[in-house]
Structure 1
Amino acid sequence: MSSYDLIIRGGTAVEPGGERAADLAVADGKIAAVEPDIADTASEEVDARGLHVLPGVIDAHVHFNEPGRTEWEGLETGSSALAAGGMTSFVEMPLNAYPPTNDAEAFEEKVALARASAVTDFAFYGGLMPGSLGNMEELAERGVAGFKAFMSTSGTLDFQTADDVTLYEGMQKAAALGLPVLVHAESKQITDELSARRVSTLRTTMRDYLDSRPVVAELEAIQRAILFAGETGCALHVVHVSTGRGVALVAEARERGVDVTCETCAHYLVLTEEDAEALGAVTKCAPPLRPQEEVESLWVQISAGNVEFVTSDHSPCPPHMKAGDDMFRAWGGISGCQSLMNVMLDEGHHGRGVSLQKISGLLSGGVASRLGFPEKGALEAGLDADLALVDLDGISTLHKEDLLYRHKMSPYVGRAFTGEVVRTLVRGNTVYREGRVVSDAIGELVKPERRTARAVSGE
């Protein structure tokens, strides 16, 4: 009999094909076996009776702001919060840090900082903005997971909106490099003009902010991005889609043969514009929260299989940037990565009957597949032993002191969740257990398998 590094015994494994009672063995950071009653021995054993074992979540949309704006969050606090939420990897957006991740030097600095402080694995997107197209090849060579472009004003002066020519030519280059382009799809012309009208007449309430970013701004930008992707052959991913109609545009284009997918975020699945008006700036985001009927429409699209994955779009800031009554001045970002899995288990599984298999796909498998992380995303022999042990019936209320963010703000504070993360393991190493982060920085860079490489290998 062989001896493993770790065996997790007696849990319910959530695999691509469904759920089953099984032990899970780990050797050299990889899943070695998922079988009932593994007879072999291990250096360490974990009793998972009464728990579900899921693939660790890959949060494919976070802003940790390091370097340059580390006082907003930081890789140590951000990755610790992820670990507490059952997450084992993240992909960070190129903006909000300074300098943005727009060239090889900035990318290498990010990697060094993450290796020094992240308790989870990590990947990074590169920027696609005016003046940065010449850097795309060097970023691809170093391992970016894709290129992010803003079709609206970004909120930071150092990350500019991609005009149509930049976006079109950037998609051409990304297609040749075998990497996706991710777009924040809101019309700059519509949102800037509607915002300016309100600010100029001192209409700055949350209601005014919500009205300044209508659904049509999202739909127009999605359609334009899809057109460019279809013409260039680029793999397109639309981030944080806030409406079922936006998801439907993506699904229809995919049916026509365009290589396009989309994500939505946890907050669009549980919070509404009524919550925004009640809670204020802590809920401000872009696109904004929508009416309840849009929440329902997103769940319909999830059920139909038209949403590739769900993310947090964790975008924190210091408290003073959320203070005051002027919603156009307040920072536009929600702090929520620690609660991503909680939301999906509570609202999705318990509230709406979404299977754990599907939730696992939305939080792990879909990300790994779309971004080309072949060693992540599922409980299968040979893949990284990234695991979340969950008490599916555990009930907890989120308090401010539970948050591991640098600044303890979140619209989920005070919310009761059914479904509690008990333990998180990154490549077989326990990083979170019993309410505490219990690991030093062990994160490693995750590089994508680029589409050109997959084509050569015949996949």
Structure 2
Amino acid sequence: MAYDVIIKNGLVILNGGEVETDVAVKDGVIAAIGHDLGEAKEVIDAKGLIVSPGMVDAHVHITDPGGGFRDFWEGYVTGTKACAKGGVTSFMEMPLNQVPATVDKESLDIKYAAGKDKLHVDVASFGGVVPFNLDGGIQELDEDGVAAYKCFMATCGDRTIEGDFMNVDDYSLYEGMKQVAKTGKVLAIHAENAAITDRLGEIAYENGETTLKAYVETRPVFTEVEPIKRAITFAKETGCRIHICHIACPEGVAEVVKAQEEGVDVTCETCTHYLYFETDELDAIGPVVKCSPPIRDKKAQDGLWEYVANGGLDFVTSDHSPCTPDLKDKDNAFEAWGGISGVQNNVDVLFDEGVQKRDLSLTQFANIIATNPAKRYNLDRKGEIAIGKDADFVLIKPDSPYVLQAEDLEYYNKISPYIGREIGAQIERTILRGETIYSKEEGVSEEAMGVFIKK
């Protein structure tokens, strides 16, 4: 057989471990793995490179359409180009901060239309669970192809914007879980105690606090742990499959592990920034590194790495949540937008921090960036280098440090807390369904080859 592409001489991460071998692609699908595979129209020499499944980032915010309110935050073109440059070949798109929020068939179709001919990687969608879509919206989203659902237990959304997202109260969460359970899909949850964190923030602001350290103190660990336990209780009652997003503390992971041992269908993630930054450095960096849950101390970070290495944290995401520079450029941290732009630096930072600095195995690395999120959200063609899967790869050059500059970023707004940081690995090439969408030599392809994945 004449293949379309053969990737030769790389260290390939397979399910059973890494091996120096070749991978052949035909019609966008992995067709053969081994040596002496024959001829191909294109041969890519990956000698000295790690050949990993492309990242499946399970937590990305794209603000397209912006509805006249967020038009200049992050569109599909810039957001998916950043993914391509960063080794992310597919992602799960959150149902907010676009306007309208993705809460029913009409708003989901608006989103699909907004992304038409703009996607440089593949995109699966979250549908929202909000207090105002419990009368049929959840079912419409299921029928229109969402891969999973998302809700906020923390306060979110702008009530002055018609169609913006909204957090759930306990009843809405309970009823929403019952409805999601009937679809068989997963409900991903932002778990923070809204009443306590909101009031602690108000008190700190009224008392004249301005620092990121003070902001972190208004969102203590127990305000993550308590809603995680509450969500698990509701999941037990309703039979809903759940996933806890962006856990910033090991105590939260411990509750998920405990629930798993009790038979609850629950998983969890952390984010690259929780594994990289710590509280004591936040004020020196500034509001560009503000997020919620907040970045906690070194002890919490070490505890999260323990769960990455030994099990408990199922995958790592970016929670890419961009905004315009003016919303970050605040003297008072409490007034700044909470969200980090990070999707372009998932793979290189995690490879450096996990594999190169902490001896994470390559199989573990592939599991946390690709295999596990693809399995959890039933993206059955993604996440593994195996025959019959989509030919999605990221080729990584290890031990190749570089300093990230603002001009390296593909984002609409070139702001990121990783700017100026030395990262010890580089993305050499990203391949989507057998086609190179980024190479270090030629940059990001202008051809938008991505598609919406509908389930």
Residue pair 1:338, 1:403 contacting (<8 A) in 2 also: yes
Hey, what's the Cα distance between the residues in 1 that align with 2:381 and 2:129? 27
1:189 partnered with 2:195: yes
Deviations 1:149-208 (A, max 9, x none): 110111533221100000011111111011111110000111011011112223232222
1:12 deviates by 1.1
Hey, what's the Cα distance between the residues in 2 that align with 1:116 and 1:72? 19
Partner of 1:149: 151
Residue pair 2:259, 2:266 contacting (<8 A) in 1 also: yes
Hey, what's the Cα distance between the residues in 2 that align with 1:144 and 1:20? 35
110-119 or 306-315, larger mean C-alpha shift: 110-119
1:302 partnered with 2:308: yes
One-letter code of the match for 1:191? T
Question: Equivalent residue of 1:393, what SS?
Answer: coil
1:413 deviates by 0.7
One-letter code of the match for 2:104? D
What TM-score results when the alignment is normalised by the length of structure 2? 0.96
For 2:298, which of 256, 279, 292 is the aligned residue?
A: 292
Residue pair 1:22, 1:37 contacting (<8 A) in 2 also: no
1:112 deviates by 2.5
RMSD of aligned residue pairs (Cα, Å)? 1.1
- Could you list the runs of 5+ residues in structure 1 that have no partner in the other structure? 449-459
67-76 or 54-63, larger mean C-alpha shift: 67-76
Percent identical pairs in the alignment equals: 45
- 1:299-338 correspondence runs (5 A): 299-338=305-344
One-letter code of the match for 1:58? V
1:442 deviates by 1.1
Partner of 1:437: 444
Residue pair 1:64, 1:70 contacting (<8 A) in 2 also: no
Deviations 1:309-335 (A, max 9, x none): 100001111110011211121000001
Residue pair 2:130, 2:151 contacting (<8 A) in 1 also: yes
- 1:44-55 correspondence runs (5 A): 44-55=42-53
Taking structure 1 as reference, are residues 112 and 393 closer, same or farther at Cα in structure 2, changes over 3 Å only? same
Partner of 1:10: 9
1:202 partnered with 2:187: no
Question: Equivalent residue of 1:123, what SS?
Answer: strand
Hey, what's the Cα distance between the residues in 1 that align with 2:264 and 2:373? 18
- 1:365-404 correspondence runs (5 A): 365-404=371-410
Partner of 2:131: 130
Partner of 1:33: 32
Hey, what's the Cα distance between the residues in 2 that align with 1:347 and 1:323? 29
323-332 or 264-273, larger mean C-alpha shift: 323-332
Hey, what's the Cα distance between the residues in 1 that align with 2:225 and 2:158? 23
Residue pair 1:389, 1:424 contacting (<8 A) in 2 also: yes
Residue pair 1:32, 1:382 contacting (<8 A) in 2 also: yes
- 1:161-172 correspondence runs (5 A): 161-172=167-178
1:66 partnered with 2:64: yes
Partner of 1:160: 166
Deviations 1:357-403 (A, max 9, x none): 10100000001110001111000000000011111222211111101
Question: Equivalent residue of 2:213, what SS?
Answer: helix
Residue pair 1:376, 1:384 contacting (<8 A) in 2 also: yes
Deviations 1:90-135 (A, max 9, x none): 1111111000011111111212222321100001101111111220
- Could you list the runs of 5+ residues in structure 2 that have no partner in the other structure? none
Question: Equivalent residue of 1:390, what SS?
Answer: strand
Hey, what's the Cα distance between the residues in 2 that align with 1:173 and 1:185? 19
Hey, what's the Cα distance between the residues in 2 that align with 1:332 and 1:303? 28
Residue pair 2:213, 2:280 contacting (<8 A) in 1 also: no
One-letter code of the match for 2:145? G
Partner of 1:457: none
Taking structure 1 as reference, are residues 215 and 409 closer, same or farther at Cα in structure 2, changes over 3 Å only? same
Hey, what's the Cα distance between the residues in 2 that align with 1:311 and 1:289? 14
One-letter code of the match for 1:150? F
1:414 partnered with 2:420: yes
Hey, what's the Cα distance between the residues in 2 that align with 1:47 and 1:66? 37
Hey, what's the Cα distance between the residues in 1 that align with 2:297 and 2:327? 25
